[in-house]
């Protein structure tokens, strides 16, 4: 700064120093504001970058977890339903094998009654023609049946033998008496033959009836026994088969019920896990946003607090600079007026100035004395 010899009277040096101080303080304030803005910008950018990175890390983690849950759910269900299919196949296979064994046992049991059934059939085969002939003998089947019964009776070996023996006896008796074959002999033979027929026919019919009843009883008893055995075998087989079907059905129902409940548990667990995952993901993101907001608020607070403290620190130096500038101006004016008053007073004392000028000098001194403030410290 160039030397100004009049600065002692005007206070320009102190005023300029105060102005330079003000400019420096203002530059420091502007620089601090720029640094605060840069710190704020950089801090917010760092917070936003961290927030973006954190949220970006959450979403893939959630996706991976969702995929793991879905994959494990699918695997669990596949294993469950595969076990159900195998279990159902084992039950069905066991049912088929049990029914086959049961059918074989029933067939064997029924086969054991085959000889008895055959024997009953044979008894029935003997009973049927006997019953038919007995009905013919009773005249139940009309003239044709009666004729058939008579023919069968007369063809019998016992009747023919008895008839032959009787006729031969009559002929021998007639020959022995010297009688020729005349009417009396023939009449006797006819009477003998009719009596023998009546006597033997009734006996023959009773024999038919006895034979009929005998074979009927044998056939009925044998066939009833065989039928009862066959019925018991069939009933046992049917009951056992029903038990097999019922048991298999019950176990299949239990299997399907267990599979359904287990599948529902798997779905429920997966659903709860996915919901919990989504909730935790949302809470994590909310926590990140909240944390970022809190950190941003702290950043603003710290920056503005620091800037405010800096500005508070500048207030007194700035005020002092303005006061120094004002004091310099006031002191310079006082010095000027004191100097002017002294000069005028001296000129008036020497007679250089008129009385009016002397009064002006006196007024100037008075004006100078009215200024407050210190004298320029640089004088």
**What are 255-294's pLDDT values in tens digits?**
999 999 999 999 999 999 989 988 888 888 888 889 988 8
Query: pLDDT band at 193, cuts 50/70/90?
Result: low
Whats the size of the chain, residue-wise?
379
Looking at per-residue pLDDT, the higher value among 376 and 295 belongs to: 295
Computed over every residue of the chain, the mean pLDDT equals 79
Q: Is the pLDDT of residue 376 over 50?
A: no
pLDDT of residue 194: 54
Lowest mean pLDDT among 103-107, 138-142, 358-362: 358-362
Return d(Cα 110, Cα 104) in angstroms, integer: 10
Q: Is the pLDDT of residue 372 over 50?
A: no
pLDDT of residue 377: 44
What is the DSSP code string of 240-308?
Answer: HHHHHHHHHHHHHHHHHHHHHHHHHHHHHHHHHHHHHHHHHHHHHHHHHHHHHHHHHHHHHHHHHHHHH
Looking at per-residue pLDDT, the higher value among 80 and 178 belongs to: 80
What is the DSSP code string of 125-176?
Answer: HHHHHHHHHHHHHTTTTHHHHHHHHHHHHHTSHHHHHHHHHHHHHHHHHHHH
Rounded to two decimals, the pTM is 0.49
Burial of 263 (0-12, 13-18, 19+ CB in 10 A): middle
CA distance readout (Å), 92 to 106, 251, 309: 21, 10, 89
Return d(Cα 74, Cα 87) in angstroms, integer: 20
**Using a CB cutoff of 8 Å and minimum separation of 24, what contacts does 217-223 make?**
218/120, 218/123, 218/127, 219/120, 219/121, 219/123, 219/124, 219/126, 219/127, 222/116, 222/117, 222/119, 222/120, 222/123, 223/117, 223/120, 223/121, 223/123, 223/124
pLDDT of residue 197: 58
Burial of 190 (0-12, 13-18, 19+ CB in 10 A): exposed
pLDDT of residue 198: 56
Query: pLDDT band at 175, cuts 50/70/90?
Result: low
pLDDT of residue 100: 94
Say if residues 187 and 162 touch (Cβ distance below 8 Å): no
Query: pLDDT band at 365, cuts 50/70/90?
Result: low
Give the best-scoring range by mean pLDDT among 72-81, 304-313, 324-333: 72-81
Say if residues 189 and 167 touch (Cβ distance below 8 Å): yes
């Amino acid at each position: 700064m160039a030397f100004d010899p009049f600065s002692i009277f005007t206070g320009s040096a102190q005023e300029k120093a105060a102005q330079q101080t003000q400019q420096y303080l203002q530059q420091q304030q502007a620089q601090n504001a720029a640094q605060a803005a840069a710190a704020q910008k950089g801090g917010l950018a760092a917070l936003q970058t961290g927030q973006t990175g954190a949220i970006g890390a959450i979403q893939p983690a959630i996706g991976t977890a969702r995929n793991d849950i879905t994959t494990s759910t699918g695997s669990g269900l596949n294993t469950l339903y595969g076990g159900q299919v195998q279990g159902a196949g084992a039950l069905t296979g066991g049912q088929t094998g049990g029914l086959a064994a049961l059918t074989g046992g029933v067939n064997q049991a029924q086969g054991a009654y085959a000889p008895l059934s055959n024997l009953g059939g044979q008894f029935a085969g003997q009973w049927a023609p006997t019953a038919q002939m007995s009905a013919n003998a009773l005249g139940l089947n009309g003239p044709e049946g009666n004729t058939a019964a008579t023919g069968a009776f007369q063809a019998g070996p016992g009747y023919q033998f008895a008839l032959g023996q009787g006729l031969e006896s009559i002929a021998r008796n007639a020959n022995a008496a010297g009688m020729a074959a005349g009417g009396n002999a023939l009449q006797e033979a006819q009477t003998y033959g009719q009596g023998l027929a009546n006597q033997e026919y009734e006996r023959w019919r009773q024999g038919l009836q006895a034979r009929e009843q005998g074979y009927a009883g044998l056939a009925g008893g044998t066939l009833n026994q065989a039928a009862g055995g066959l019925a018991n075998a069939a009933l046992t087989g049917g009951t056992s088969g029903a038990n097999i079907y019922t048991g298999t059905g019950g176990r299949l129902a239990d299997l399907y019920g267990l599979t359904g409940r287990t599948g529902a548990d798997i779905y429920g667990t997966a659903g709860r896990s996915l919901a919990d995952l989504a909730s935790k993901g949302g809470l994590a993101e909310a926590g990140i946003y909240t944390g970022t907001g809190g950190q941003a608020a702290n950043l603003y607070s710290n920056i503005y607090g620091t800037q405010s403290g800096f500005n508070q620190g500048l207030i007194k130096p700035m005020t002092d600079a303005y006061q120094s500038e004002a004091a310099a101006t006031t002191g310079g004016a006082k010095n000027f007026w004191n100097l002017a008053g002294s000069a005028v007073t001296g000129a008036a004392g020497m007679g250089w100035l008129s009385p009016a000028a002397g009064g002006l000098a006196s007024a100037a001194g008075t004006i100078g004395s009215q200024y407050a403030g210190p004298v320029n410290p640089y004088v």
